[in-house]
Amino acid sequence: MAADTRQPLRAEIARAARLARDSEDHARARQHPKGKFTARERLDLLFDDGSFEELGRFAGGNINAGIAGSAVVTGFGTVRGRKVGVYAQDFSVRGGTMGQAEGEKICHLLDMAMQLHVPVVALIDSGGARIQEGVAALTQYGRIFKKTCEASGVIPQISLILGPCAGGAVYCPALTDIIVMTKENSYMFVTGPDVVKAATGEQISMDELGGGYVHNATSGVAHYLGEDEVDAIDYTRTLLAYLPSNCDEEAPRYAYSNGHVEDEAAKRISTIVPDNDRQPYDVVDVIRCLVDYGEFLEVHELFAQSVVVGFACIKGQSVGIVANQPAVRAGILDVDASEKLARFVRLCDAFNIPVITLVDVPGYKPGSDQEHAGIIRRGAKVIYAYANAEVPLITVVLRKAFGGAYIVMGSKSMGADVNFAWPNSQIAVLGAQGAVNIIHRKELRKAQDNGEDVAAVRARLVSEYEESTVNANLSLEMGEIDAMIDPAQTRETIERSLEMLKAKKSVRRYHRRHGNQPL
């Protein structure tokens, strides 16, 4: 009886459903030969099974004329049970170009995400502005730029570049928090190879100009280089697990109990760092000994490798980790490392994620190239980031911290809440060798003139300087270091500090429109 009384399926609905199926078949035929997924296949990889709810499936289309919709898919789904907004450009529809309909859908999605206070993921695969629509298409980019800026620091925004992204369109992802690219089929540039050749005569391929590796390793525009689309999307899902849904939420916490594995890692940590402060080691090995399950999600892995930044959990608490990397240029700070570090600290501070800083830094990279590249202006970004951070800041000096680099790397004077140092750590204006060469230059010259063993004299002076000045005792006595800790106590100490600081609240000391950060 019930089957007989059902309303008949309307022809219009059947036509729309058939059109949707045909358009997806068309998309697969266009994308798969290029080694690319369709927009909706990418959404299946991103979201929990069956959770995606599309908005405006046929908006911008003409069902009667056989046009399924616009060149972008928008909607909401869940990632590990948490709601996330998405817009995915569909290259199979007019090359994924941006027109008025596409702009309207994206802006509506961003508005809803802001109202719901949930993250937004953008899947970029587009030929740029739709030339046929002229300034109307360009206007949509302006609207998206403005809304992306309004959402900045309110909700996490992640961009995956899974195809071309050229011209003014590049600034849509550039304004977001994290950019993920792939080794193949992923390109970003303001002016393409043809325009570059016409303007400058330079012949360059798309990969060399704006491929995934270039933007991860050279320009620093992108933060992760995926092996393929599946890897890029999986990284995004993992990244979202460390971020809250919005700036009003606390950083995620997960159930975790310490056990035998943590005890073994604590014992191993002291064997990783050599006593010789000039001998390199991989600080990522130290980080993996400190964090839950040894899992560390690195950000900007291929760029400015003398510092390491990324996300992890410590006893279930999501944290951001910043560390010097002695295995690369001794862990120095240069212009690129400074910007990488500063941007990451700002990201953590925007979304209530505590920052753990592991320090082993000899100073700033010297040289005219650094001065001319703006180490003063760009290095000041690190100072601004730490000085304005309101999240818990915990710093551990592993081996050495010299000069201005010591100050900016989460020192107590910069606003860190608690600072610790390993017993053999060295904290001073300058390393012992350099300091002795300056302070005792007359004495060394006199020893040389008198025929004495200059190397032996220098070694004695270095030893005296290390004993009186370079060790961390002075910082401990001044209160700049809260405690000396054994390397094996590092994780436990950080755990206790996080627990102590979990109720830390931001305090607005002055009324102002905003600061004027060095840019």
- Coil, strand, or helix at residue 114? helix
Residues 261 and 330: their CA atoms lie apart, in Å, by 30
Which amino acid appears at position 291 of this protein? V
Residues 343 and 68: their CA atoms lie apart, in Å, by 41
Assess contact for 452 and 503: CB atoms under 8 A.
no
167 belongs to the catalytic site? yes
Catalytically annotated residue among 56, 85, 167, 212:
167
Residues 405 and 372: their CA atoms lie apart, in Å, by 19
Residues 69 and 20: their CA atoms lie apart, in Å, by 9
Residues 437 and 443: their CA atoms lie apart, in Å, by 9
Residues 364 and 487: their CA atoms lie apart, in Å, by 26
Catalytically annotated residue among 71, 137, 401, 405:
405
Q: Report residue 134 as tokens.
A: 């002229």
Which amino acid appears at position 378 of this protein? R
405 belongs to the catalytic site? yes
DSSP codes, 271-332: HHS-SSTTS---HHHHHHHHSGGG--EEESTTSSTTEEEEEEEETTEEEEEEEE-TTTGGG-
Assess contact for 400 and 426: CB atoms under 8 A.
yes
Q: Report residue 43 as tokens.
A: 């959404």
- Coil, strand, or helix at residue 204? coil
> Of 112, 518, 144, 97, which Cα lies nearest the Cα of 335?
518
Catalytically annotated residue among 153, 168, 220, 374:
168
Catalytically annotated residue among 265, 404, 434, 488:
404
List of residues 6+ apart from 339 with CB closer than 8 A: 220, 304, 378, 381
Residues 277 and 297: their CA atoms lie apart, in Å, by 27
Q: Report residue 7 as tokens.
A: 């309303």
Residue 426 pairs with which residues in a beta bridge? 400, 471
DSSP codes, 451-511: T--HHHHHHHHHHHHIIIIIBTHHHHHHTSS-EE--GGGHHHHHHHHHHHHTT------S-
Catalytic residue numbers, as ranges = 167-168, 404-405
